[in-house]
Amino acid sequence: MIPLKKIGFRINNLITWQKTNAMPNMTKRVFTHSSEFVIWAVKGKKWIFNYEELKKINPDKQLDGNLKQMRDVWLLPLVQGKERLKGSDKRALHATQKPEEMLRRIIIASSNKGDIVLDPFLGSGTTAIVAKKLGRAWIGIETEPIYIKAAKKRIYG
pLDDT tens-digit readout, 1-15: 789 999 999 999 999
Q: For the chain, what is the domain count?
A: 1
Domain that holds residue 129: 2-156
Q: Is 153 exposed, middle or buried (0-12, 13-18, 19+ CB in 10 A)?
A: exposed
In tens, the pLDDT along 56-96 reads 999 999 999 999 999 999 999 999 999 999 999 999 999 99
pLDDT at residue 157 tops 90? no
- pTM of model > 0.85: yes
Q: What pLDDT, on a 0 to 100 scale, did the predictor assign at position 1? A: 72
In tens, the pLDDT along 90-146 reads 999 999 999 999 999 999 999 999 999 999 999 999 999 999 999 999 999 999 999
CATH number at residue 130: 3.40.50.150
